Structure formats: C-alpha cells, structure tokens
C-alpha cells in the first residue's frame, strides 16, 4: 500500500507557513498537502483551498490525497477571538471537531492539534505553571483550547485515535506575521525597530509571558509527533517552555543591538488577556515523555531575528 500523506490545515498562517516546507523537506514535496482558506501561492503545491468548518470538503480532501496524518493549524487567535467570539467558536471548536471526526471515520494514523498557554486563566499558578493544573480561561480562544485538549483526549481513550498536542507559548518568527494574537507584539517590535527605530507596545512594560522562537516551535511539534506512543502519559496538552521575558526586557535586548530604538507603552484590551496567562510554564512532562529541550534563549533569538529580518527587509 502507498504511504499515506500529510495534510496541514491553516498552512498560510504563522506556524503553518514554516511547518509545510520543513515537512516537505523531510517527507518529500508530494507527500505534504498544504491547505488554507487563502488562495494558493505560486510554487505551493500540492495545495487545497479548505475551510475547516466544512467537514464534507475536509473528508473529500482526505480521501483525494490518501491522507494519514493531519497537522491542524487553522485557528483564530486570542485577540481576534475576543472581537468575534462566535466565529472563534465556529472555527476553533467546529473545525477541530470536523478534523477529529474525519480522522475517526477514516482511521487516520495521527493528528496534531495545538493548544496554547491561553488554556490557563487567572486562577492558575502564574509562575512555572504546572503541567496538570487549573484550566479556567477567560478568553473564547482559551475556552476553545481547553475543549480541544479534552476532546482530543476523549478521542484517544474512546476511539484509540492518536491525537497529540502542545500548549504553544507566544511564537516569534521572521517569515510570516502572526495575526490576531496577544503575543504578536513580540514579532511586530522587530519590524518597527528595524524600519522606524520605535515601537508602541499594546502591553505594559512589566508584562511577562512564555515565548518560543520558531525553530524551537517546529522542533517541539515534530518531536512530539515522532515520539513513541507508549512513552506518552499525556497526549494533547503538553506544556513546552522556550523562554520567558517581559516587554521591557525584550525592548532592552533589541536596544543593545539598535541603540537608538525607543519603546513607548499604550496598553489596550489585550493587557487583560495577557494578565490572565502564565509568566512561565513547567515543561518537565514534555522533557520526560519525549525528550523536549529548547535551543534558543532571549539573546540568541534576538540575534537571529534581527539577522533574518535585516535580510528580508533589506535594511
């Protein structure tokens, strides 16, 4: 039998746009189908225009390409979710349910469903947040992530479907801008520092959040997907730590490299979201069960981001 292929939903998003080339490099161009609600770009093939809320189309795509593994990256992030909670529920919960149902019906081998630090809430211990702890998020995005974690786990125990996921921190990357997240400031700041030497942050200087550089995000995703199932005690909800810094600390680190960079602060509705999330997470379960450890800390991430963006922006 021909080896079954990989489908990536939300392939044009911040993580999907870097995950697809990596998977194609590893498994071959033809083995990885990228899909998104955005139209196909030149050179991106095989590609399917796919809205994950359309379960019928999803099932057709899975059949058409003989899909065995899905990386379900399509989602509406925290800040965008607060602007339209109904849509966030439809995409994040409806889309996820469609993916799990199609995976169950068609006997897929493995499914990756990302969760987020947004699964936590103000009642969760904020420093070194434990793996197994209070999950009472205050955002619709966080609620949808808790639903995703529990639903994925349910499909594992009820149907034996191999569903896996990590709780991503804020992801920092140079290729594709994130959209609609609370941690987006940590990407925007680099573009503004290089282009205009100044940035107005939408969070307070002391706001500290767990963050991760894209190479570590991709490493964590692939490591978990390749881990032997027997080693996993958790499945859909692994804490993964990369680094943890405040807005001010990131700005200082940039200023060391761009001395005339200036930051100002105008906190908006996203401050309340950030205040409900952890400052740092305990990822010992990921370390024990599948050998997780990050490669980047704050200074090495800032060095690499500036180098990549200088080339990209030609500055």
Q: Catalytic residue positions?
A: 141
Residue with nearest beta carbon to ligand AKB: 181
Taking 3-state DSSP, the helix, strand and coil percentages for the chain, each rounded to the nearest 5, stand at 45, 15, 35
Neighbours of 63 (CB within 10 A): 11
Q: If we measure between CA atoms, which residue out of 33, 27, 22 comes closest to residue 173?
A: 22
State the nearest-atom distance from the C-beta of 137 to ligand AKB, in Å.
11
Nearer to ligand AKB, 119 or 161 (CB): 119
Neighbours of 65 (CB within 10 A): 19
State the nearest-atom distance from the C-beta of 77 to ligand AKB, in Å.
4
Q: Which residues contact 1 (CB under 8 A, 6 or more apart)?
A: none
> Distance (Å, rounded) from C-alpha 99 to C-alpha 164?
13
Q: What is the DSSP letter of 14?
A: T
> Tokens 């800032």 map to which residue?
302
Q: Residue numbers of the site for ligand AKB (CB under 6 A)? A: 77-78, 116-118, 141, 168, 170, 181-183
State the nearest-atom distance from the C-beta of 36 to ligand AKB, in Å.
18
Q: What is the DSSP letter of 280?
A: S
Nearer to ligand AKB, 161 or 214 (CB): 214
Nearer to ligand AKB, 35 or 78 (CB): 78
Nearer to ligand AKB, 67 or 186 (CB): 186
State the nearest-atom distance from the C-beta of 56 to ligand AKB, in Å.
28
Given phi > 0 = left and psi -120 to 50 = alpha, else beta, which region is 121?
A: beta
């Amino acid at each position: 039998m021909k080896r079954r292929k990989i489908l990536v939903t939300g392939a044009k998003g911040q993580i999907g746009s870097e995950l697809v080339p990596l998977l194609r490099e590893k498994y071959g161009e033809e083995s990885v189908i990228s899909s998104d609600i955005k139209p196909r770009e030149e050179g991106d093939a095989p590609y399917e225009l796919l809205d994950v809320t359309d379960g019928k189309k999803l099932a057709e795509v899975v059949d058409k390409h003989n899909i065995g593994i899905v990386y379900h990256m399509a989602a509406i992030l925290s800040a965008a979710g607060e602007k339209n909670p109904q849509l966030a529920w439809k995409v994040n919960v409806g889309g996820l349910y469609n993916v799990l149902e199609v995976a169950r019906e068609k006997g897929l081998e493995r499914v990756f469903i990302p969760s987020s630090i947004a699964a936590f809430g103000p009642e969760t211990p904020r420093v070194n947040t434990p793996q197994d702890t209070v999950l009472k998020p205050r955002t619709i995005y966080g609620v949808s992530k808790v639903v995703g974690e529990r639903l994925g786990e349910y499909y594992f125990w009820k149907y034996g479907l191999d569903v896996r996921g990590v709780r991503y921190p804020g992801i920092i990357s140079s290729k594709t801008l994130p959209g609609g997240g609370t941690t987006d400031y940590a990407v925007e700041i680099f573009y503004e520092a290089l282009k205009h030497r100044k940035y107005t942050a939408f969070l307070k200087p002391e706001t500290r959040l767990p963050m991760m550089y894209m190479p570590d995000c991709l490493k964590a995703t692939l490591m978990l997907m390749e881990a032997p199932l027997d080693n996993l005690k958790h499945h859909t909800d692994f804490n993964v730590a990369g680094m943890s810094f405040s807005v001010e600390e990131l700005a200082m680190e940039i200023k060391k490299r761009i001395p005339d960079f200036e930051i100002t602060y105008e906190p908006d509705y996203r401050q309340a979201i950030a205040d409900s999330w952890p400052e740092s997470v305990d990822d010992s379960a990921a370390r024990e069960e599948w050998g997780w450890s990050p490669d980047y800390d704050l200074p090495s991430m800032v060095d690499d981001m500036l180098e990549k963006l200088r080339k990209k922006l030609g500055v």
